[in-house]
Amino acid sequence: MTEPEFTATGVRIGKRLRSLTRAGQVRISGGRLELLTSYGSEIDSAPVQAVRASKPWFAPDDRALADLNGKRYLLTLGDHDPAPGEPGPPAARRFIEAVRKAAGRNR
């Protein structure tokens, strides 16, 4: 199995006003984006080329939007990258960049 291109743990994943998990995982591996619960079961996944990742307009820096399979998910990641060796989710900006890079879209 190949090494994931992007992994974030401790991510709050929500859909509209409903929280699906408060300690989920986001993983980009093998050309797919996967949203997982804290137990590792899949919430949703899609090929990275079909995913749209963006920053919500009037939201804190730790939030990102991900559109997968016609559904919009609100991801609450860290507001800054953790120090090397420290636990915690990476910044939302890094997630958006990882999606664009994996899909072959550079800006």
Confidence (pTM): 0.85
Residue 106 has pLDDT above 80, yes or no: no
Report yes or no: 52 and 46 within 8 Å, Cβ to Cβ: no
| CA-CA-CA-CA torsion sign (18, 36, 24, 102) | negative
Domain regions of the chain by residue span: 6-105
Looking at the structure, give the CATH architecture of the domain made up of residues 6-105: Roll (2.30)
pLDDT at residue 65 is higher than 90: yes
Average pLDDT in the chain: 88
